[in-house]
């Protein structure tokens, strides 16, 4: 069921906060301040997290937040370890690992058909554990990457993707 899929995937979904360095007006010391947010997912138990490149583009640091079922959020410092702006993908690393997180179960789009049910789980508008449901609206679409190059063979869905769901 949709409820079971949501329950299974939610422990892998994290909130990403991109950080930029600014100068504190009073102390003139450098401080990190939030510059944007998005969603990501835990790739493995070694602390790798996958997100979109546009979420962390231009950031000097990142923070990964995992919200437990009881509503408490634990935040971890993360380092950018890889990215490809042409594919709008980035990989962050939390050195300590992410306690309570489960790596996402990787699926396959082989055999996917228009009309199949889609789920979008993320943190739109900074709200945790949000789910929208839709269908596969089209296959083989093309979108433009942050670098201006085309990303081909994209799956189109009508599930609501709001700011922060990236």
Catalytic residues: 54, 88, 166
Q: Identify the H or E element spanning 121.
A: strand 117-122
Q: Kindly tell me the burial class for residue 115, based on how many C-beta atoms sit within 10 Å of its own C-beta (0-12, 13-18, 19 or more).
A: exposed
> Which of these, 15, 10, 2, lies nearest to 119 by C-alpha position?
2
In three-state form (DSSP H/G/I as H, E/B as E, the rest C), the secondary structure along 2-51 is: HHHHHHHHHHHEEEEEEEEEEECCCCCCEEEEEEEEEEEEECCCCCEEEE
* Cα four-point dihedral sign 3, 7, 12, 17: positive
Q: How far apart are CA 39 and CA 70, in angstroms?
A: 19
Q: How far apart are CA 99 and CA 116, in angstroms?
A: 33
């Amino acid at each position: 069921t949709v409820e079971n899929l949501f329950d299974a995937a939610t422990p892998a979904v994290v909130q990403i906060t991109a950080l930029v360095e600014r100068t504190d007006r009073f102390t003139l010391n450098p401080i990190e301040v939030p510059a944007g947010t998005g969603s990501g997912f835990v790739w493995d138990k070694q602390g790798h997290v996958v997100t979109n490149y546009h979420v962390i583009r231009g950031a000097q640091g990142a923070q990964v937040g995992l919200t437990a079922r009881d509503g408490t959020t634990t935040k971890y410092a993360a380092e950018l370890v890889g990215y490809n702006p042409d594919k709008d993908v980035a990989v962050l690393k939390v050195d300590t690992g992410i306690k309570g997180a489960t790596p996402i179960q990787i699926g396959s789009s082989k055999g996917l058909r228009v009309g199949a049910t889609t789920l979008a789980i993320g943190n739109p508008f900074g709200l945790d554990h949000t789910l929208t449901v839709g269908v596969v609206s089209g296959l083989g679409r093309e979108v433009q990457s942050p670098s201006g190059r085309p990303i081909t063979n994209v799956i189109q869905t009508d599930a609501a993707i709001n700011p922060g769901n990236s």
